[in-house]
Structure 1
Amino acid sequence: MSTKAGDLPALKEWGAVAHALLRGRQCLLLRKGGIHEKRFEVGAGRFLLFPTVAHSHAEQVRPEHQDLLPAGAADSTEERVVLRCALDVVDVVPVERPEALADVGDLHIWTRGSVDARLDFRPRHRLTALVVRARPLAEPVVVERGPRHRGCSSWVDLAEDLEHRADDLEHRARADAGDVITPERLWSHAGPPALDDATLQRAAGAVRRALA
């Protein structure tokens, strides 16, 4: 996904993963891109996480992380989506040695079967590993789910959703007070990272050594 000034990219990922990232239990994402995408591309160095949910997620999260599932499900319903997690890219690693994915299992919450499913999806496409820094938004962003949020795509631009808030009376009052939500404001007011830089650099090194 290529971005330009004013865009607010969000990556679709499991709601439970958003909470894992914010609690420091995860810093690794594994992606191949949706069925309508030629490949997975990281077009921005920072983005939000757009939570998704499915019944199968419960079977694909390791037992010690099952407690994250209810919160993840509550953030992604048919009517609305709650975004809580801002991400900065620490490293992007093309996976050249998928047989070594088990060596970085401590950097995510998925079961081995879930990782294998991501690897087997679109077998001609290479898996990409992202090491990310997670920060909590100062105030969760709630968007009404619409047709453009659906479909098998990796990314969605939420700038239009923020613009639609201008039709809300409360939002206009906040805008008059200089408190309107903008991409810049989201990043500048986000909370401290879930993991420190030294930990993330060690994780990035481990991912490169294992998978590159």
Structure 2
Amino acid sequence: MLQHALKEWSIAVDALTQGRTILLFRKGGIREVGQQFIVPHQRVWLYPTYEHQKPHLLKPQWAAKVMPVDSGRYPTQVTLLAWAEISHVWTVKTLDKIEALLPFHIWNEQFVTERFCWKPSQPLHILLLRVHCLAIPIQIDWQSVYGGCRSWLTFEAPLDETPSTPALDKQTWATTVQQIHEQIATLTSSELLQANEII
């Protein structure tokens, strides 16, 4: 049973559930405690958001799938397709090394640069996820407390994450992790502020 969720663009959740990526970028949201990003939970729901999706920050094949919505417009219900184990968290502060990860995610160079440069005093966090797709998606009612620029949500009650199936088989996932790890391994101690391999 899981009660906490990580908010992410709906198109990114789709890519994660399809096994097209295992990587997310994060900086502290406006409503984070101290506006700092931390990972307080290892196993979380993937909560799709629609309001701030920007097609021009996505690679073309993903940009074409986004239907922008008006600011402040929220659905009456939200569909949970998957949950994830956050397996690795790296905290980095060098843009050129982050750009080397371009083949491993759905965003374009502009997104990477903008995300890195936003709140320049804070480093960028790279998350790797082991995603599990629900056999039957779960519908939950949208609530106002789910809005706003925050990374984490807590539902009113825990939800059952079973039955579910990994988006990628173990070997494919492990191979992708290794490929990303090889890029991260080129960082020096001054460029890599923190590395946590949780699983």
- On whether the aligned pair clears a TM of 0.5, the verdict is yes
Q: What TM-score, normalized by structure 1, do the two folds share?
A: 0.76
CA distance in 2, matches of 1:77, 1:194: 31
SS in 1 for 2:185: helix
RMSD: 2.4
CA distance in 2, matches of 1:49, 1:192: 14
User: Which residue does the alignment assign to 1:45?
Assistant: 42
SS in 2 for 1:99: helix
Task: Tell me the CA shift for residue 13 of structure 1.
Answer: 0.5
CA distance in 1, matches of 2:5, 2:183: 23
User: Which residue does the alignment assign to 1:154?
Assistant: 151
* Residue correspondence of structure 1 range 46-85 to structure 2 within 5 A: 46-54=43-51, 56-66=53-63, 68-69=65-66, 77-85=74-82
User: Which residue does the alignment assign to 2:130?
Assistant: 133
- Please say if residues 132 and 164 of structure 2, whose CA atoms lie closer than 8 Å, have aligned partners that are also in contact: yes
User: Which residue does the alignment assign to 1:202?
Assistant: 178
Q: What TM-score, normalized by structure 2, do the two folds share?
A: 0.80
Counterpart amino acid of residue 189 in structure 1? P
Q: 1:56 to 1:132 in 2, by over 3 A?
A: closer
Richer in helix (by share) = 1
Task: Tell me the CA shift for residue 21 of structure 1.
Answer: 0.7
**Of 16, 27, 32, the match for 1:21:** 16
SS in 2 for 1:8: strand
Q: Deviations over 1:178-203 (max 9, x none)?
A: xxxx54x31x4211232534224314
Task: Tell me the CA shift for residue 46 of structure 1.
Answer: 1.1
What stretches of structure 2 of length at least 5 have no aligned partner? 193-199
What stretches of structure 1 of length at least 5 have no aligned partner? 1-5, 164-181
Q: 1:195 to 1:100 in 2, by over 3 A?
A: farther
Task: Tell me the CA shift for residue 94 of structure 1.
Answer: 0.6
CA distance in 1, matches of 2:46, 2:146: 13
- Please say if residues 101 and 210 of structure 1, whose CA atoms lie closer than 8 Å, have aligned partners that are also in contact: no
Establish whether residue 123 from structure 1 lines up as the match of residue 115 from structure 2.
Answer: no
Richer in strand (by share) = 2
Task: Tell me the CA shift for residue 118 of structure 1.
Answer: 1.3
CA distance in 2, matches of 1:131, 1:34: 19
Establish whether residue 94 from structure 1 lines up as the match of residue 91 from structure 2.
Answer: yes
CA distance in 2, matches of 1:27, 1:18: 10
What percent identity do the matched residue pairs reach? 28
